């Protein structure tokens, strides 16, 4: 098996270290509520420069099995919710 590279983790880490980052981790809770339903397929159609790539990198970092991304989400909305960590363990445990 080949080497797995965690680009979502790396790119999301770069994004949160920039000055223009806005915390949208509450979107993860919404996505988690859809995972096991018929609405599990999400289409993100926004105008250019609306943060689609950063959002995709955030989701990739959150759901990545090979990189421990907890430190990236420690000071974000998802960590203060309480359910965020429980959801993390449920889907990534």
With residue 78 as reference, give the H or E element that holds it: helix 77-81
Domain span holding position 37 = 7-92
Residue 2 in domain: no
Residue 45 in domain: yes
Q: What gap in Å lies between CA 19 and CA 21, rounded to an integer? A: 6
Q: What pTM did the predictor assign?
A: 0.80
Question: What's the total number of domains in the chain?
Answer: 1
Q: Are 66 and 77 in contact (CB under 8 A)?
A: no
Residue 60 in domain: yes
| CA-closest candidate to residue 22, choices 63, 76, 71, 60 | 76
The pLDDT tens digits of the residues spanning 23-73 come to: 999 898 889 889 889 998 988 888 998 889 999 999 999 888 787 888 888
């Amino acid at each position: 098996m080949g080497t797995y590279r965690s680009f979502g983790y790396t790119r999301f880490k770069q994004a949160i270290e920039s000055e223009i980052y806005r915390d949208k981790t509450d979107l993860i809770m919404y996505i988690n509520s859809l995972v096991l339903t018929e609405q599990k397929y999400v289409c993100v159609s926004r105008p250019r420069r609306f943060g689609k790539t950063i959002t995709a990198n955030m989701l990739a970092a959150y759901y990545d099995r090979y990189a421990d991304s907890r430190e990236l989400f420690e000071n974000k909305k998802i960590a203060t919710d309480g359910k965020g960590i429980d959801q993390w363990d449920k889907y990534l445990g």
